Amino acid sequence: MRSFVKILLTSALVLVAQLYLPWYVIMIIPFVISIIIKTNGAASFFSASIPVSFIWIIQAYLIHTATGDILTSRMAHVFPLDGSANLLLLVTGIIGGIASGLAGLTGNAFRNMLISPDSNRKRKTGYIPLNQRRR
């Protein structure tokens, strides 16, 4: 359930933020969301990379259709893609997904670094083992 919430939240915030902010906002938003909402490492990566990949592929496709295939076909010839504009759209989504996924994973690691599992257990139960008590 948390992963689904993270996917929806990431999708909504990235979609709106990319209209007004630079491209690297796709790394800031998943980083902050992964700090706030706790999931494991794989869920943090995929809940950040999947929505951004789809958003970037859709935005690239909209640019592709708006320019009448001129811009994307020329860019596909610059890269070793044999002039395939569709492959360029896929590569664009993969790059955005990897960047945001790594940012989500970094946010998860940052959260785990700040909030250790031992401190959560002590707070919930109030029990501290004898060998960890202060003397």
30-82, pLDDT tens digit by residue?
Answer: 999 999 998 888 999 999 999 999 999 999 999 999 988 888 888 888 888 88
Per-residue pLDDT, 118: 59
Cα 4 from Cα 106, distance rounded (Å): 19
Structural domain contains residue 103 = yes
Structural domain contains residue 109 = yes
- Distances in Å between the alpha carbon of 41 and those of 3, 32, 47? 11, 14, 10
Q: What percent of the chain has pLDDT over 90?
A: 53
Structural domain contains residue 122 = no
pLDDT-based confidence at residue 104 (cuts at 50, 70, 90): very high
**Domain range enclosing 44:** 2-114
Per-residue pLDDT, 69: 84
The secondary structure of 37-106 as a DSSP string is S---HHHHHHHHHHHHHHHHHHHHHHHHHHTTTHHHHHHHHHTTSTT-HHHHHHHHHHHHHHHHHHHHHH
